[in-house]
Amino acid sequence: MTHNILAASRDTDRLAATILSQDADIVALQELVGNHAARLAPKLAATYPYRVIYADQGLGLYSRYPLRDAQLLTLGAEGSYAIRAVVDLPGGPVTVFNAHPRHPRIDWTPGAGSLLYVANFDPSRRDRAVASLVSAIDRVKGPVIVLGDLNLPDRSGAYRQLTEYLKDAHREAGWGLGYTFPEGLVGGRFWTPFPFLRIDYVLHSPEIRALEARPGPPSGSDHLPVVARLGLPG
């Protein structure tokens, strides 16, 4: 399971209930800031005794199975990060990344009335972060799972770069459009009746196969989680 939990979220009871209801073995959280980790700890500790938290970078990785060799990766120099860790699963070790490249730069200009228009869209910082992530993945031997809010649609060049080697669990085993963002109230400014972008992903190396992939239930964030069931080698 991967989920951008929204930095401004305060309802950790609802968040924990959402996480636990999906019964995932590995959970990757983005925008895990402030006291989120401390407030989630007593609610998740029994189910996820293994965890790696980098609250300053907004990332957390929770697991039912032992985690080792955890490392924080800086993806470029503009606040994009990933956790890389090895999960010792019953079928053997798998390297897992929890990644959160920064979103593209968007400049807005006022239009008629209260409307805003995009004056400039610059994905270069995100694309540099994705290139750095791909380089880190290329250095891994063995099965790989990449989880995260990648801040890119599946028609972007950065998506194509990632999926030259990795498979997209939603495309492999999901149904429908799989949209995860924006959900509900966005930035405290506007409300959307339903998501219309797919920017949260479960990706995996070719020796792993996706058996199921779907958006999870709302937790109070402006993203929906993504939940996937994966078949490992052997």
For the chain, which residues make up each domain, given as ranges? 2-231
Going through 55-176 in order, the beta strands assigned E by DSSP cover 59-63, 67-74, 81-89, 92-100, 105-110, 116-122, 144-149, 167-168
Q: Could you list the pLDDT tens digit for every one of the 234 residues in the chain?
A: 999 999 988 899 999 999 999 999 999 999 999 899 999 999 999 999 999 999 999 999 999 999 999 999 999 878 899 999 999 999 899 999 999 999 866 554 555 555 544 445 577 889 999 999 999 999 999 999 999 999 999 999 999 999 999 999 999 999 999 999 988 655 545 556 667 889 999 999 999 999 999 999 999 999 999 999 999 987
Other beta carbons less than 10 A from residue 60's beta carbon:
25
Q: Which of 43, 60, 59, 42 is nearest to 51 (CA)?
A: 60
CA–CA distance, 151 with 76 (Å, rounded to integer): 15
151-172 residues labelled b (16+ CB within 10 A) or e (exposed)? bbebebebbebbeeebbbbbeb
Contacts of 74 (CB under 8 A, 6+ apart): 80, 81, 132
CATH superfamily of this structure's domain 2-231: Endonuclease/exonuclease/phosphatase (3.60.10.10)
Q: Which of 136, 3, 121, 155 is nearest to 76 (CA)?
A: 136
Environment class of residue 88 by beta-carbon count within 10 Å: exposed (0-12), middle (13-18) or buried (19+)? middle
